[in-house]
Each structure stands twice: as C-alpha cells, then as structure tokens.
Amino acid sequence: MQLIQLEAGKIVSKVVHGGRNLTQVLTETLRKQFDTTQERGALQDLCYGTLRYYSRLDFMLDSLLERPIPDTALRNLLLVAIYQLQYTKAGAHVIVDQAVKAAKSSNPAASGLVNAVLRNFLRRQSALLEAADLKEESRYAYQEWWVDVVKAQYGTRADEILEEGNRHPPMTLRVNARQASLTEYQTMLAAQDIVATVVQPGALKLERPVPVERLPKFNEGWISVQDAGAQYAAKLLDVKDGMHVLDACSAPGGKTTHLLELAKIDLLAVDKEEPRLQRVRENLQRLHMEARIACGDAARPKDWWDGRLFQRILADVPCSASGVVRRHPDIKWLRRADDIESFAVQQKQILDSLWPLLERDGKLLYATCTIFARENQRVVAAFLSQHNDAVRLELSVPGMSDGQLLPNEDHDGFFYALLHKQA
C-alpha cells in the first residue's frame, strides 16, 4: 500500500501542478506497474478520491502545518493519506504507518513530519472539518469561481448540485435492442448475481459497478456502458431508416453506435483527433456495425464534407464537462473561469458551421455534458437570433428543465436543444 500511496501522490501532483489529464496519467502509470486488479483499483480510488476533495484536504493540511512544504511529492502524499483517514474505511493506524514508510522510502528525513501531521489530524479531525466548512472552496471542494457560477445560476439548488458532483457515479448499461430486450438482459445479469434496475427505456443501472468482463455478452455487442443521461441523445435526434446522418464530434463512439442501434442509417462519424477515432472504430467493431469515418474539425466542414446534405446532425460539442465531474474530478482543478467563454465561442462556431449541412425540414441536436448556461441556453439563444430558419423544438424528458438535465443518482448532467430547419 505504501507504494500505491506514493504513486497516487505523484499522479495528483501531475494533475494539479502539471495540468495533466487524470485518465492519461493514470493509464501511463498502470502500464508500467501494478499488475493485480486489487492494486489497480486501490490506486484509482486514491487518485480519484484525493482529487474529488482536493481543496478540502488542502485546507486541512495547511491548518496542520507550521510552515509550507516545498516538496510537492511529500505534500501530495499527505493529502492522499488524509483522504484515506477521512473518507475510507481503512484502519487509521495502518494508513499512518504506510504513509510514514512511503515517505521514508523517498525522503527519510520527512518520515517524522508525516507521522506528526497525520496523528495531529486524527486528534483535531472534528475541528478541522468544521473550519473547512466555513470557507466555500473547502466546504464544497470546488474552485471558488465554480461555486459562484453554480450559486448564481441555480440558487437554492446549488448545494444539491455541488454535492452530487462529489458522489460516486452510477454504472449504467445501454442494451442493444438489436440483440436483446431490456428484460432479457436484466435476467441474464441476475443469473450472474448482478442486480440492475431500469432507469429509462433501454437503460439498466447496476446496484454496484462491475468490470465489463463480468457483463454477459459484452464482447458480442449486446450492451454498452453509457450514462443514462447520455442515452437520450440518440433518441431525441429521431432517426429513421434510410436517413443520411452526421455525428459531428463522435469520439469515443457511444452515441454513434446508439444511433445505429435505433435505425438503419447512412452515418458519417467525424472527430478532429485520429487517436480518438480509433475508439469509435473499436466500438463499431465490437457491436458489429458499420459507419463512414472521417478525421476533421466540425467547425471546418469544407475539409471533410462531400456536399451531400444531412437529414439529421448530432453536434455533441466540446465543453467544460461540468456535468460529469464525478467521473472526472480532475476537471474541477484543471478548468479556469475564462475557459467557459472560450468553449462557448467554439460551440457557436461549430453550430454555425454545421447548420448549412442540414437539409430543409432536417433536425440538429445540440448536446453538451455541462451544467453552465453560458455553454448551453445562451449559445443556442445566440444561434437562433442569427438564423431565421431555425426553430427550437420542445423536448419531453423526465427531470429536464429548458433542455438541462442535472446530475442525480440516475444520470450525469447534460443539456440538449433540438433545432428544426424550416422547409
């Protein structure tokens, strides 16, 4: 465990101080070491948990120190250990002992400091938590600007939304209707002692997450792992057999394959990054589906479009991903306030660029996984004000308000706006 604590601290440092993506850094580390499933799971839990509560842990650590620690690796090792002491069920004595040994292996002189700080945390734990609650950044475990935006936009619901972003996300499956019914697959799961409940047509939420290797017929393409909120996209686009369809920002391919499950369509999947398109190809192959694939920027159709109009377009645009932070806690610390405006400009540019590719009487679904209005309602409003042939259609989705789904126990946060091009 001491090696896992040490590596978790290094990964946290690379994310917070180096601006690296958590998934990429974690993948790189797992390629080099930690062969067992248990070790890999433990490392992932420590990284995700420490980043989920980073500013809260950081506040408490500062309160325990008489002077700053210049060694970032040591500081992050302490943050990991404090996360374990506060949020996990591991024994306090074991956590402290392993952290001391981890510090000694890299910096023998620091082991005494680690021991003193962690034991002091255990003595002062209640008071530290109360003090952390007095400051919004450490109370909610988000950057201050993020808390301000959510409070200004959602008012009395802000606490609920921020707290939901710190919970563990559900694991939800999308059942391929071409292979099995929801009931049939639910029965197959039960036979494997996997409990699942229906959260919407086609979506099963697992009582407890399991490795995909345990899911019956996963490799045969019977199901995909996809959040229930994300599963609305393909359904809302209303595709029919024979239609010419564009998935403009398609990677990793979850919505691409869902569209192909719903109807026999001629689909073009576009993404600007070739490595990400490989994920689309892998998903298509696993589900035994076919689509045309092109590497290109959705905001620059002239580089990849053949001139044939589409009847349906899915624009799942790049965004701040504020609606999925419980799956990607590094986002809370990598995003900056001015990033939101940059995303909004890019999103509007993509909408403007794709609209001419849609035929008359066609539909375009604008989609994001953010809860910030600047990237959602305001982008769509600006677009509609400049395009007289565009009409926003009403959507009937449980829990949705003005196109916004907020994260809850069943799904992440998403925004959808269905635009109709008048004939």
CATH code of the domain covering residue 215? 3.30.70.1170
Of 80, 108, 135, the position where a domain reaches its end is 135
- How crowded is residue 278: how many other Cβ atoms within 10 Å of its Cβ? 15
**Alpha-carbon gap, residue 262 to 258, rounded angstroms:** 6
Of 182, 202, 225, the position where a domain reaches its end is 225
Residue appearing with tokens 């697959």:
185
Distances (CA, A) of 324 to 57, 245, 250, 388: 21, 26, 17, 33
Compute the half-sphere exposure of residue 204: CA atoms within 13 Å on the CB side of its CA: 28
Residue 329 lies in a domain: yes
Distances (CA, A) of 310 to 111, 242, 391: 64, 11, 17
pLDDT for 262? 97
How is residue 61 written in tokens?
């650590």
Residue appearing with tokens 């839990």:
45
Catalytic residue, chosen from 47, 249, 319, 369, is 369
**Alpha-carbon gap, residue 104 to 42, rounded angstroms:** 21
Residue 366, strand partner residues: 315, 417
249: annotated active-site residue: no
End-to-end C-alpha distance for the chain, whole angstroms: 64
Same domain, 237 and 205: no
Residue 104 lies in a domain: yes
pLDDT for 16? 94
Residue 162 lies in a domain: no
Residue 165 lies in a domain: no
Same domain, 121 and 251: no
pLDDT for 33? 81
Same domain, 53 and 121: yes
Same domain, 278 and 308: yes
Same domain, 238 and 111: no
pLDDT for 202? 87
Same domain, 268 and 215: no
3-state secondary structure the chain: CHHHHHHHHHHHHHHHCCCCCHHHHHHHHHHHCCCCHHHHHHHHHHHHHHHHCHHHHHHHHHHHCCCCCCCHHHHHHHHHHHHHHHHCCCCHHHHHHHHHHHHHHHCHHHHHHHHHHHHHHHHHHHHHHHHHCCCHHHHHCCCHHHHHHHHHHHHHHHHHHHHHCCCCCCCEEEECCCCCCHHHHHHHHHHCCCCEEEEECCEEEECCCCCHHHCCCCCCCCEEECCCCCCHHHHHCCCCCCCEEEECCCCCCHHHHHHHHHCCCEEEEEECCHHHHHHHHHHHHHCCCCCEEEECCCCCHHHCCCCCCEEEEEEECCCCCHHHCCCCCCHHHHCCHHHHHHHHHHHHHHHHHHHHHEEEEEEEEEEECCCCHHHCHHHHHHHHHHCCCEEEECCCCCCCECCEECCCCCCCCEEEEEEEECC
Distances (CA, A) of 169 to 30, 57, 79, 164, 318: 22, 21, 22, 9, 21
Phi/psi class of residue 193: alpha, beta or left (left: φ > 0; alpha: ψ in -120 to 50)? Answer: left
Residue 188 lies in a domain: yes
Mean pLDDT of the chain: 96
**Alpha-carbon gap, residue 330 to 321, rounded angstroms:** 11
* Maximal CA-CA distance, the chain: 75
**Alpha-carbon gap, residue 239 to 242, rounded angstroms:** 9
Same domain, 260 and 373: yes
pLDDT for 108? 85
pLDDT for 341? 98
Tally of structural domains, the chain: 3
Q: Give the domain range for residue 194.
A: 172-225
Beta strands 172-175 and 223-225, pairing class: antiparallel
How is residue 259 written in tokens?
């569209």
Residue 374 lies in a domain: yes
Q: Which of 260, 367, 389, 243 is nearest to 309 (CA)?
A: 243
pLDDT for 364? 98
Same domain, 288 and 416: yes
**Alpha-carbon gap, residue 160 to 398, rounded angstroms:** 18
Q: What is the CATH number of the domain that holds 417?
A: 3.40.50.150
Residue 207 lies in a domain: yes
Residue 266 lies in a domain: yes
* Cis ω before 108 (30° cut-off from 0): no
Q: Which amino acid is at 119?
A: R
Residue 259 neighbours by CB under 8 Å, 6+ apart: 234, 237, 239, 245, 247, 265, 267, 314
Same domain, 276 and 408: yes
Q: What is the CATH number of the domain that holds 72?
A: 1.10.940.10
Q: Which amino acid is at 156?
A: T
Residue appearing with tokens 């809860």:
371
Q: How far is CA 134 from the centre of its chain?
A: 28
Same domain, 287 and 398: yes
Same domain, 28 and 86: yes
Q: What is the pLDDT along the chain (423 residues), one digit of tens a residue?
A: 778 999 999 999 999 999 999 999 999 998 888 878 888 999 999 999 999 999 999 999 999 998 988 888 899 999 999 999 999 999 999 999 999 999 998 888 889 999 999 999 999 999 999 999 999 999 999 999 999 999 999 999 999 999 999 999 999 999 999 999 999 999 999 999 999 999 988 899 999 999 999 999 999 999 999 999 999 999 999 999 999 999 999 999 999 999 999 999 999 999 999 999 999 999 999 999 999 999 999 999 999 999 999 999 999 999 999 999 999 999 999 999 999 999 999 999 999 999 999 999 999 999 999 999 999 999 999 999 999 999 999 999 999 999 999 999 999 999 999 999 998
Same domain, 218 and 246: no
Percentage of the residues of the chain whose pLDDT score is greater than 70: 100
Compute the half-sphere exposure of residue 256: CA atoms within 13 Å on the CB side of its CA: 30
Residue appearing with tokens 């301000």:
148
